[in-house]
Amino acid sequence: MVYVASPYYVTTSDLSSKRRQPDLSRHLSAEARARLPNPIKSIWKVAQVKPGTINMGNGDPHHTLYPICEMNFVVPSIHEQDPVQAWRVGTGEQQTVSSYRDEPCALSLKTAMAYSAGAGLKHVRDTLAELNDRIHAPPKHTVTLSLGNADALTKCFRLLGDPGDSFLCEEFTFSAMTNAALPLGINWVPIRMDKDGLIPSDMELILANWDEDSRGKRPHVLYTIPCSQNPTGSTLSLERRRQIYQIARDWDVIILEDDPYFFLQYDLDIRQTTIERYGFFRAMAEVLPRSFLSMDYDGRVMRLDSFSKIIAPGMRLGWVTCNEFLAEKLDMLTDSSSQHPHGFGQAFVSELLGSRGWGTDGFMKWVASLCREYERRRNLFMDVFERKVAGSGLASAEVPKSGMFVWIKINLDLHPRYRELEDTKLLVGPVSNTAELMDELFRKLLECGLVMMPASTFAIVDRSGCVQSDSHIADRVNYFRATFVGTDETIENGLAIFGRGLEEFFCY
Ligand SMILES: Cc1ncc(COP(=O)(O)O)c(C=O)c1O
């Protein structure tokens, strides 16, 4: 990797610290810079500092008039040897976790159901910060709650993006989110990928070749999905993560680490002796991938975690971990928009992860057991794929190491109507009919009763003119994203339709 002397660093006034800290203020959008704190929340925060202060300032309903005094959640017992299996087949014990308005519990409903700071309740933030510490050991970061990663991302885009800004992302990405940035005037610059995800040298090339005079401000944000990249299912290796972080430092890029699939890892070598000696938490923390957050000694990573994939998407609860400067700006946005996440979710998480619920160790036991179940489904998917699809040679797929997705390559060049222009040297657009054939195939499968997501849904077309590429992305959309999280029956039946549909489409 070429080291480029970065112009972006300022020396801290703390002479005892040799480390130079980046000045992150240049990353803020005009909206973030212009935003004033919610004045009511600011006074409310002051009122929290001194216990016993009589608060006659706020329009809070009185907690004795909340029409709720107890909440009971029946959940799987974490004492089962394999809790997810036992839960799935219905043989497992159950346990009840309860929140009360007045009786002692991890987070009383009196507190959970009241107005609070946008960042969420301290008890929940502390619990999640402890999870973070034991997994990522981030140098100096703070946790703020979100309504899941979609909420967190859209807020981060507003925090960092001005009209005309360019952000980097993987060339196939979770378009539901990248689309959310378009009305803000943010342009996406795609980075080439291979089967292992984003290619660091390509990211560096884009940044190094960027001409600010003709293209405007050099991209200062990278949006990346490091585990089970959506849609390609790839997981970045430690080596690539280190390279990407270094490039981000060299070019002063903020990394938005969108990691909802982080906890769903497969083929893990969890050590039984560690479980016995230190518990599940430590055993899992040892084998989970190293996050960008864990490397972030200069505060440029905003890491987004979510309960959606490990508890339930309807939880609408997640957490953002970033340095205090960015967290404060994010909280200001939340304080003046969605406000803090719902009290039900915060109460539930507090009890579930508390000493009368699963506890943090039990939570990790659940996660480890969930990984085993999804790993079984992934293996089944790959097995059925091998039997019902791959034999024809019309499609192939890599085995994903994490998450929920398989990225299926369609060998379109075997199709009798596949065409590629011969003299392509002067062309800047697509040179093949890949996109049309894939569209036809998608419709055919739909008629047969199967939906798989076509790659074109996720493709980011380069409009910056800065991406060096030997082919247009429309010539590389010969993929489908399929998920293996369904039932055994869905996997068997879905892939049978897929195999047959492919053969008919290719006239085999
Ligand atoms: C990559 C990625 N980011 C964000 C989200 C949204 O997650 P959440 O439910 O936490 O909002 C998803 C959901 O599928 C996703 O795949």
Determine, yes or no, domain membership for 7.
no
The pLDDT, as a whole number, for residue 16 is: 37
- H-helix or E-strand spanning residue 304: strand 301-306
**Same domain for 252 and 309?**
yes
Whether 181 and 290 share a structural domain? yes
Domain stop point among 310, 337, 364? 337
User: Residue 291: which CATH number?
Assistant: 3.40.640.10
Whether residue 267 is contained in a domain is answered as yes
- What pLDDT does 424 receive? 60
Residue ID of nearest Cα to ligand 1 atom 16: 230
Asked if residue 382 and residue 313 are part of one domain, the reply reads: no
Whether 498 and 419 map to the same domain: the answer is yes
Residue 501, domain member (yes or no): yes
Half-sphere exposure of 364 (CA within 13 A, CB side): 20
Beta pairing, strands 254-258 & 221-224: parallel
Task: Indicate whether residue 449 lines ligand 1 (CB < 6 A).
Answer: no
CATH number at residue 412: 3.90.1150.10
Are 279 and 142 part of one and the same domain? yes
At 405, phi and psi to the nearest 5? -115, 145
Is residue 484 within 6 Å of ligand 1 at its C-beta? no
Q: Is the CB of 258 within 6 Å of ligand 1?
A: yes
CA 263 – CA 369 distance, rounded (Å): 11
Q: Is the CB of 313 under 6 A from ligand 1?
A: yes
- Does residue 449 share a domain with residue 501? yes
**Is 263 part of any domain?**
yes
Q: Fill in the amino acid letter for 317.
A: L
- Judgement on whether residues 392 and 286 belong to the same structural domain of the protein: no
For Cα atoms 176, 181, 182, give the angle at the middle one, nearest 5 degrees.
100
Residue 463 falls within a domain, yes or no? yes
Pocket test for ligand 1, best of 227, 304, 306, 320 (most atoms within 8 A of CB): 306
Residues 378, 297 share a domain: no
Tokens representing 454 are 């076509």
Residue where a domain terminates, one of 337, 357, 386 = 337
The verdict on the CB of residue 224 being under 6 Å from ligand 1 is no
Q: Are residues 326 and 383 in the same domain?
A: no
pLDDT at 10: 37
C-alpha of residue 305 to centroid of ligand 1, in Å: 9
Q: What is the pLDDT of residue 1?
A: 32
What pLDDT, on the 0 to 100 scale, is given for residue 426? Answer: 58
Give mean pLDDT in consecutive 10-residue pieces for the chain, a chain of 508 residues: 37 42 90 91 76 83 94 96 95 95 94 94 96 92 97 98 97 97 97 96 96 95 98 98 98 98 97 96 97 94 98 97 96 94 96 96 97 98 97 97 98 95 71 96 97 97 78 94 97 98 92
> How close is the Cα of 150 to the center of ligand 1, in Å?
6
128 alpha carbon – ligand 1 mean position (Å): 18
Amino acid found at 288:
L
Q: Is 371 in the pocket of ligand 1 (CB under 6 A)?
A: no
Tell me, yes or no, whether 59 lies in a domain: no
Amino acid sitting at position 216: G
Cα angle vertex 418, ends 416, 424, to 5°?
145
Structure tokens at 304: 């987004």
173 in contact with ligand 1, CB cutoff 6 A: no
In a domain, 454, yes or no: yes
Residue span of the structural domain in which 239 resides? 118-337
pLDDT at residue number 19: 55
Side chain identity at residue 156, one-letter code: C
Same domain, 389 and 255: no
Asked whether residue 308 falls in the same domain as residue 382, the answer is no
CA of 157 to the centre of ligand 1 (A): 15
Which of these three, 337, 359, 382, is where a domain ends? Answer: 337
CA 402–ligand 1 middle distance (angstroms): 15
For ligand 1, say whether the CB of 474 is within 6 Å of any of its atoms: no
**CB-ligand 1 contact for 111 (6 Å cutoff):** no
CA of 231 to the centre of ligand 1 (A): 11
| Contact by Cβ (8 Å): 140, 9 | no
Distance in Å, CA 258 to ligand 1 centroid: 8
Residue 381 Cα, ligand 1 centroid: separation in angstroms?
Answer: 22
Residue 101 lies in a domain: no
Same domain, 203 and 302: yes
Number of domains in the chain: 2
